[in-house]
Amino acid sequence: MRLGFFMMPVHPPHRTFTETLEEDTEKSLLADRLGFEELWLGEHFSATTEPIPSPLMFMAALAPRTKNLRFGTGVICLPNHDPRVVAAEVAQFDHMTRGRFMLGVGPGGLLSDFELFGHTDVAVRNRKVVESVDIMQRIWSQDPPYEIDGEFWKFSLKTNVIAELGIGYMPKPYQNGGPPVSLSLASPNSSSARTAAQHSWGIISANICPTYSMASHWSIYRDACAELGKKPSGENWRVARNIMVAPSDAEAYDRAFGERSSSRYFWTYIRAALSGVGLLSILKPRPEMADAETTVEAITEGCILYGSPKTMLDKLVAFRDEVGPFGTLLMTGLDWGGPNEAWERQAMTLMAEQVMPKFHQYVGAQAAE
């Protein structure tokens, strides 16, 4: 059982880009010092609240300053990119980190990005993800000539190749065959879980998913693997969760629900963003809930884990028993405005030093049975 860190990130829109980049760098370095094993970072082009358009660039600056972290893109929204460019940049980053890289991919989730890049058809976006990964893996697996004739991308490199000079050769990643690939999931009963199983990719359940939705991801992935004659493994499943650990249950509740809480801002923002485009159903703790019932408080209660270290351990055990055998828990980073920096620093420390060691013991004992 691994502990990782995930940042969309979400910041209030009035904060400057410079400030939030510095803050997100500091919490990444803190995660490394505390022994977190993974860092996953989102990609968005057209939202000041979610302001990192290049997770690879951000993580490249962290690579020489960290010891424990492996880096993951959470995710590269492949329909917005030329796979030739992504293949080359991923190969470079994989060498810069000596293989400390995991390639998280997806069709994207920000409607303003869909409009910006002209990708409003969800079926097209999903097909572009599959084709793009296939192209990248073909590039990584061979030397020239390259000949690609896909539905969306067509190109070749065969005439201007000078083998003795290395001209015409695309870079290959540090990891043989390329970094492991994982696909993001956000909707209940997401068909993308089956797609991941078909291509032997891992899955990442988004932090905005309520418990029943995450359980559906594992169920679909597990069943699809079984149908394909593959052995499903929780090692290939990462679950992102908003988590608040505090010295007492009362303090944790206040830090998760109180008016000064970044947690409250986060869920207020997410509810407004998804409700505005008709996707509030993604957040409903129970699928039959009416929209009027799906308040910020109800979403928070259904989509986060909070409590003292002892309570958090109990909740984590119950959560994993309910959703399935995920191999990595990704704690979500929040904005550090007001008192939230001190709260999140303490939550990360308590999670790493008090909760996870005991959770490891539970998971190990469960696996031995």
Q: What is the pLDDT of residue 287?
A: 95
* pLDDT above 90 (res 368): no
What is the per-residue pLDDT across 89-136, written as a single tens digit (0 to 9) for each? 999 999 999 999 999 999 999 999 999 999 999 999 999 999 999 999
- Of residues 171, 164, 129, 167, the one with CA closest to residue 150: 129
- Of residues 360, 193, 179, 332, the one with CA closest to residue 263: 332
Average per-residue pLDDT in the chain? Answer: 97
* Whole-number Cα distances in Å, 36 to 67, 253, 309, 329, 349: 10, 24, 17, 10, 10
Place 236 in a pLDDT band, splitting at 50, 70 and 90: very high
Phi, psi of 237 (to 5 degrees): -120, 125
* pLDDT above 80 (res 369): no
Tokens linked to 117: 């890049």
Cα 98 from Cα 176, distance rounded (Å)? 11
Count of CB atoms within 10 A of residue 342's CB? 11
pTM above 0.95, yes or no: yes
Q: What is the pLDDT of residue 322?
A: 97
Structural domains in the chain plus CATH codes? 2-74+180-250+306-368 (3.20.20.30)
Percent of the chain with pLDDT over 90: 98
Cα 366 from Cα 112, distance rounded (Å)? 44
